[in-house]
Structure 1
């Protein structure tokens, strides 16, 4: 509990000094490339991801400890396989007993919530930033993160890509290689690029 409290206090202290981090935490427009705090946080997160990969086979308990340090809102019974790439562990919530296969990637600072009992296939990626469409603002580095929500007991096949702002309902299955660009309801099989429901899952 102390580590979580300490991390929250540090994040709050950084946010006091960095307007872009404050904006990120309120889901507003921000500029990663000009933000010392955001760059510091992602460097630290990537270093922890690399360390998890280094010790996973020789010291799995230490790898699990590092993962819990990286993702304070990770619940009990999570199983994972490195490598991992996570930009902001404090912006990631993972439910109990979820399995995460190798090459899992979460990019950007939008809040990502993954439910309990999910199966995340290899090379799945979750993207949360939307860069500015306006050419000048994009050159200036403006982007806005959007949350991604994955319900309970969702199965993502290998190499699924999830784009900003998407919600996937409970119990759904996303076919391998799909690109999810819009919300997917609960209890369906959905496939394709863009991903669309193709049938209900029989009860």
Structure 2
């Protein structure tokens, strides 16, 4: 397996692999361009945005600055809004459903490292995918950790650290996040 195949399969891989470094460099050039374009250049900014998020749904709006690892591992639905300073470490797949809103400083991390120091010091890492359902609102400064799935209609409180998955129709918050209440969406 190539290092990229290992990475996408959730196995330990070497992030210094030349192919992976090239892909990260490509997207860094794109989001640097995106982040530097003013609102006077919205058409060009949107074009660059859809180069970062190939195949994204309609009505994607991202406030710069934005940062990610690859871009190509992020699957975005329709009507998605990401506010200032969103960072998505998309070493594994990140799926974002329709009608999602991210407040400022939302962090989504698929990348992780071994807890055993000898293995961690080797420089190798791995990742776990993240899935965000439809109609999800993530509050400012929230962190979504590797391997998390957020159900449809979930609301994540500002500052929450989400370390495990949650079902549909709940408000979650805290560190680590827990269910604060259920939502009646009938």
Deviations 1:148-176 (A, max 9, x none): 00000000011110000000000010000
Q: Name 1:20's counterpart in structure 2.
A: 3
Matches within 5 A, 1:47-196: 47-196=29-178
In structure 2, C-alpha distance between the alignment counterparts of 1:25 and 1:193, rounded to whole Å = 28
CA contact (8 A) 1:172 1:189 kept: yes
CA contact (8 A) 2:73 2:90 kept: no
Whether 2:32 is the aligned partner of 1:45: answer no
In structure 2, C-alpha distance between the alignment counterparts of 1:138 and 1:157, rounded to whole Å = 31
Larger mean Cα displacement after TM superposition, 135-144 or 63-72: 135-144
RMSD: 1.3
SS of residue in 2 equivalent to 1:30: coil
Kindly state the Cα deviation for residue 73 of structure 1 after the two structures are TM-superposed: 2.7
TM-score, normalised with respect to structure 2: 0.95
Q: Name 1:10's counterpart in structure 2.
A: none
Kindly state the Cα deviation for residue 83 of structure 1 after the two structures are TM-superposed: 0.4
Moved over 6 A (4+): none
In structure 1, C-alpha distance between the alignment counterparts of 2:19 and 2:129, rounded to whole Å = 20
Kindly state the Cα deviation for residue 138 of structure 1 after the two structures are TM-superposed: 1.0
SS of residue in 1 equivalent to 2:34: helix
Q: Which has the higher helix share?
A: 1
Can you give the 5+ residue segments of structure 1 that lack an aligned partner in the other structure? 1-17
TM-score, normalised with respect to structure 1: 0.87
In structure 2, C-alpha distance between the alignment counterparts of 1:48 and 1:110, rounded to whole Å = 20
Deviations 1:65-119 (A, max 9, x none): 1111111131111111110001111100111001111101011411000100001
